[in-house]
Structure 1
């Protein structure tokens, strides 16, 4: 008899883990063991272990919380203790957490992130079904064989997304998650995982080369101790640029070591902010990403003040296909690793353009 895959469920809280609050709402409270116990038949798919890392709303997660989960997955995988892992958390920052895990893990075992849009006290709570689908995906033999190729996956509503492509597109709909440009990499039908695509992960190979591919523990134990706080500023109609000017003027830049600009359209800012953008770009990495959260930036179409050509000439780096949320995390890790400047860093961003 073939042994069942060993899947670790690591919980960080979120809507999937809510309990009744004191004022009529809900609050985080369920552990990983509680979540696993709520899924009938899970034991037929895998031998599941449960660990609770945190019990918080995902808006309260920090980069180091996610990196600590990555280190634990790496530890279990290196010891040969698991065949895959599922991370449960809130959906507010799920696309960010999945991307962080995707950057630092080596794909030795499949890692799937899931959660819920409806809390356990709701009618038709989606948490148990999503956890079941996530464990099925992590346990699937094809996914396990191709785990390094696929990278970290996000599974909700029987749809499998690649971490690089997935985004939350609604604050409340049960079908909130989409991969708007590339589409999902797979679906679950009956009791089968069906893969339909392969994500482009050239950025991962370039990131590993730029950072020396440190083990996940290196990101949390002080080995990689560079500054990693990155400001996220979104451009809008009539934006005065006051925050940009203040960042450039402050001797310590308010503690920020880099900036991501959520640019308009194909990668534009108002003409009157470009001098402050250039001043910042002389002092720290400034990355431009599309505020619309989907699609590649332009590189060589417009050449007016504040256009993609003009900003590149002023030292701004194009985030390419990355939305601002993910560009910020990539820049933060490059900064922490001391690899945000130079040819190696440019090669990372080049893969995304």
Structure 2
């Protein structure tokens, strides 16, 4: 007897679930069942589907606590026997949501996040194709042990590397470091890279989460205040990790009482450690106590710091986690 794969589809809203209201304005109103009904060729996968409407909101309005709550539900679904989970959501914060889910996902079963760039009322809406791809990945044995994946435009990306690189393109999602880990070819998943090292952290027990701002450097901008009310901080610096010289001392003061992570606003390539030596250079800032993010992008670094602190860790644990997550392999 053939084994039936059970996949749970969790709907969060977003463009993939948008439809027009009486006033003609778009809002995320479609349920998970509506999305599934629009997918051609789904029966050929032979899946047993469970549909779960978690939220119907634009992803810009998701809170970190919402994603942590979803991670708890996903853990319970997999523990109860589901073989995989697909999450449909808006693309605005998809890269952050997927990575936070990845940090909190300790089981081998695949979790696949997808969405759409064109809403269902447009010609060439990409939601059905992306959902079919996500379901195909979630049911594929080769996806086990890879953590959270993102399926978009017939490409499969690791959550730690994927980002939205265009505001409207159907191929908006890219992995600047290493490229996609797989592709959909003739209805099957073809993997281009093996599973990368991952950081996995305990899921927070409550809804109270640490405050971790993200500050982006800009020409001539004022430095962060040394009395910044936060539990951790991520700075998106210029280039390989450079900041205005007048930022160095205030950040050093902040680093005495919280983890301060140095990432690059370029969104591709690493923060260096020992090339430049002037005030505000990467070497100067690391000597003042900042922690390098490596290849990890600023919004992902923020998710990691938040998850480490929520698990009871501190500066040392953030540094250790970034040593893994910030490497080129993930």
Compute the TM-score of the two structures, normalised by the length of structure 1. 0.88
Task: Compute the displacement of 1:106 (Å).
Answer: 1.4
Give a deviation string over 1:140-176, Cα, whole Å, max 9, x none: 1222xxx22x211000111000111111100111110
Aligned residue among 317, 321, 327 for 1:348: 321
The CA distance in 2 between the partners of 1:33 and 1:186, in whole Å, is 27
Structure 1 contact 64–220 (Cα < 8 Å) conserved: no
Task: Compute the displacement of 1:36 (Å).
Answer: 1.1
Report the counterpart of residue 285 of structure 1 in structure 2: 259
Structure 2 contact 217–236 (Cα < 8 Å) conserved: yes
Q: Is 1:257 aligned to 2:231, yes or no?
A: yes
Task: Compute the displacement of 1:4 (Å).
Answer: 2.4
The CA distance in 2 between the partners of 1:51 and 1:21, in whole Å, is 23
The CA distance in 2 between the partners of 1:22 and 1:307, in whole Å, is 55
Report the counterpart of residue 295 of structure 1 in structure 2: 269
Q: Is 1:194 aligned to 2:190, yes or no?
A: yes
Paired positions, count: 325
Gaps in structure 1 of 5+ consecutive residues: none
Report the counterpart of residue 301 of structure 2 in structure 1: 327
Report the counterpart of residue 20 of structure 1 in structure 2: 20
Task: Compute the displacement of 1:2 (Å).
Answer: 0.8
The CA distance in 2 between the partners of 1:350 and 1:164, in whole Å, is 13
Structure 2 contact 133–151 (Cα < 8 Å) conserved: yes
Report the counterpart of residue 172 of structure 1 in structure 2: 168
Structure 1 contact 107–152 (Cα < 8 Å) conserved: no
Q: Report the more deviating stretch, 230-239 or 17-26.
A: 17-26
Task: Compute the displacement of 1:338 (Å).
Answer: 1.7
The CA distance in 2 between the partners of 1:165 and 1:71, in whole Å, is 23
The CA distance in 1 between the partners of 2:41 and 2:166, in whole Å, is 31
Secondary structure of 1:230's aligned partner: coil
What are the within-5 Å matches in structure 2 for residues 209-224 of structure 1?
213-214=201-202, 216=203, 219-221=204-206
The CA distance in 2 between the partners of 1:319 and 1:304, in whole Å, is 20
Gaps in structure 2 of 5+ consecutive residues: none
Report the counterpart of residue 51 of structure 1 in structure 2: 52
The CA distance in 2 between the partners of 1:302 and 1:55, in whole Å, is 48
Structure 1 contact 67–220 (Cα < 8 Å) conserved: no
Compute the TM-score of the two structures, normalised by the length of structure 2. 0.94
The CA distance in 2 between the partners of 1:172 and 1:22, in whole Å, is 25
Structure 1 contact 18–29 (Cα < 8 Å) conserved: yes
Structure 2 contact 98–159 (Cα < 8 Å) conserved: yes
Q: Report the more deviating stretch, 15-24 or 31-40.
A: 15-24
Report the counterpart of residue 218 of structure 2 in structure 1: 236
Give a deviation string over 1:245-265, Cα, whole Å, max 9, x none: 2xx23xxx33x2111100000
The CA distance in 2 between the partners of 1:78 and 1:274, in whole Å, is 47
The CA distance in 2 between the partners of 1:306 and 1:54, in whole Å, is 44
The CA distance in 1 between the partners of 2:299 and 2:319, in whole Å, is 19
Structure 2 contact 273–283 (Cα < 8 Å) conserved: yes
Q: Is 1:84 aligned to 2:84, yes or no?
A: yes
Structure 2 contact 14–89 (Cα < 8 Å) conserved: yes
Task: Please tell me the root mean square deviation across aligned C-alpha atoms, in Å.
Answer: 1.5
The CA distance in 2 between the partners of 1:347 and 1:198, in whole Å, is 23
